[in-house]
Chains A and B, each alone.
Chain A
């Protein structure tokens, strides 16, 4: 979580641009000809009725699915297919609808795992432990504790995540994504299954991340209130096609969007 430096792409430049991407699974068209972009430093919401292709879109950005057509340009580099770990190395972090935590590990270990890309010490150093490996472990532990403080999960850091309630699991998953210090953070329904208080907490975290640390965020969300409050721009998908793209107020008033949610066929 560092403030943008002069070396990075200037604010308001495009961080990610999706160019005419189409994805289908053996006959089922998940996404058809979608193009949009994400500016550096903004909060972008992706909304749409169920089955609209939102998660598939994130999966394409992330590298899980390879589109049959189209290109993705991230930080100036264009590619049409890459593996998820390449996306991670490039600076994209991700959370999932069904929390994808490592159930056999504690919350602390899960978040420490997020530092995997930044830890370098080799096998022999690790076997020895004392010396460089320990120093590296302590240094990254320090950073992870900052994240734990930020998310207020100190009390559960040594708890195996399988034992945590759903809301806390989602927070740990967010922590793990943050530990990667990503340029682009993809959140897939971060508020799903939460009560009002938890949603307010999560909203505050997302806003803080964006305001204080400049993290660019793309999120899929169903709660319209959250979307309107948090996002700078909204992309609306329906049946895999883009039907609206703009500021929250515009999109909310768009007739096609209203139709899509009400189920009016078009």
Chain B
């Protein structure tokens, strides 16, 4: 009875095109955002910030990026790790060599750098169909990993091969606590997610989805496949680059190329498979899942009194991810986001069964 649209008529196309056409959804999301900004800081401790909230938010940005390319436009990429690295190292070098630059600008420029590198790899590669693109992105991944390890300029000639960054500050205001970092990342995430949602619900999203669903048919309505794929690649790389920069600066503090290796690429891919391909919500849900499982696995054995070695936990993680992906592909290929949508459908009918 609660979740009824009865009485909610759309009197303009504008209201029909809204992100949350159902009023109850709108209120829920507004409440959620208010809670995220105002409520969470009231009770959250350092652990919750650094191990759960901040990683989930940053990885959501990366997941949104990959979802744009793979979920909405249908181009498989296994190079997310490499592009995150581009963002991280670009931000590092920018902050190092132009220290007066506003940190928000640094992160955005880092994303832009990743976009350019993405276009460089994407331009020759996008004539290649679907699956083969995965190989091209793998080439990008391994090459970039190697480049950041070998080209000394990127790491500022550090003998150890790893880089470190200090605290960031915004307009002179130091971001020096997990709580402040969380608010900063939250703001970034919400703005980027909103921009992405706006992109995908309009003509550009339709263009991408047309390419995904049938690129031959997309041509007959005047869409140029190369142009569409490149734009998806560009936007996707931008998001992933920004995520990489945020990850390096605000989650790791110091890193080496290994932090952005091929396993990271698979991690982001799993997020969008499990969360839901072609949905913005799914990017968040998938990121949350991927972050929560290891935390859960680390906590559970000690709570149950059964000690497990790190190797054993890592193996269980692998098995769990593998099994979950297979489960979702068989049962609900559109992931957690679809399960959420189904739950809402049931709620609309509640308490009636159909």
A–B contact via C-beta, under 8 angstroms: yes
| A binding-site residues for B, Cβ under 8 Å | 62, 64, 83-85, 87-89, 93-94, 96, 100-105, 109, 112-117, 119, 121, 123, 126-129, 133-134, 136-138, 141-142, 145, 176, 180
Contacts of A176 in B (CB 8 A): 221
Would you call B223 an interface residue if the criterion is a C-beta within 8 Å of the partner chain's C-beta atoms?
yes
User: What are 17 A-B pairs with beta-carbon distances under 8 A?
Assistant: A64-B216, A84-B220, A85-B223, A88-B220, A102-B210, A103-B214, A109-B206, A113-B207, A113-B221, A115-B203, A123-B199, A123-B204, A129-B198, A133-B202, A134-B14, A137-B17, A141-B16
Closest to B196 in A: A127
Taking chain B's interface residues, is the majority helix, strand, or loop, or is none over half, making it mixed? helix
Would you call B213 an interface residue if the criterion is a C-beta within 8 Å of the partner chain's C-beta atoms?
yes
Contact indicator B17/A138 (Cβ below 8 Å) = yes
Counted as pairs of residues, one from A and one from B, with CB atoms less than 8 Å apart, the total is 107
Contacts of B201 in A (CB 8 A): 129
Contacts of A128 in B (CB 8 A): 195, 198
Task: Report the bound CA distance from A121 to B199 in whole Å.
Answer: 11
Task: Report the bound CA distance from A109 to B195 in whole Å.
Answer: 20
Task: Report the bound CA distance from A14 to B210 in whole Å.
Answer: 33
Closest to B195 in A: A127
Task: Report the bound CA distance from A114 to B203 in whole Å.
Answer: 10
Would you call B224 an interface residue if the criterion is a C-beta within 8 Å of the partner chain's C-beta atoms?
yes
Closest to A84 in B: B219
Contact indicator B220/A89 (Cβ below 8 Å) = no
Contact indicator A141/B220 (Cβ below 8 Å) = no
Task: Report the bound CA distance from A89 to B227 in whole Å.
Answer: 15
Neighbour of B206 across the interface among A62, A113, A136, CB < 8 A: A113
Task: Report the bound CA distance from A114 to B219 in whole Å.
Answer: 11
1/0 contact trace for B1-24 toward A, CB 8 Å?
A: 000000000001110110000000
Task: Report the bound CA distance from A117 to B209 in whole Å.
Answer: 15
- Min CB distance A91 to B, Å, is 10
Would you call B222 an interface residue if the criterion is a C-beta within 8 Å of the partner chain's C-beta atoms?
yes
Contact indicator A119/B203 (Cβ below 8 Å) = yes
Contacts of B223 in A (CB 8 A): 85, 116
Would you call B231 an interface residue if the criterion is a C-beta within 8 Å of the partner chain's C-beta atoms?
yes
Would you call B229 an interface residue if the criterion is a C-beta within 8 Å of the partner chain's C-beta atoms?
no
Contacts of A96 in B (CB 8 A): 217
- Min CB distance A217 to B, Å, is 16
Contact indicator B198/A126 (Cβ below 8 Å) = yes
Q: Which residues of B119-166 are within 8 A (CB) of A?
A: none
Contact indicator A104/B213 (Cβ below 8 Å) = yes
- Min CB distance B71 to A, Å, is 10
Neighbour of B203 across the interface among A85, A121, A180, CB < 8 A: A121
Closest to A140 in B: B203
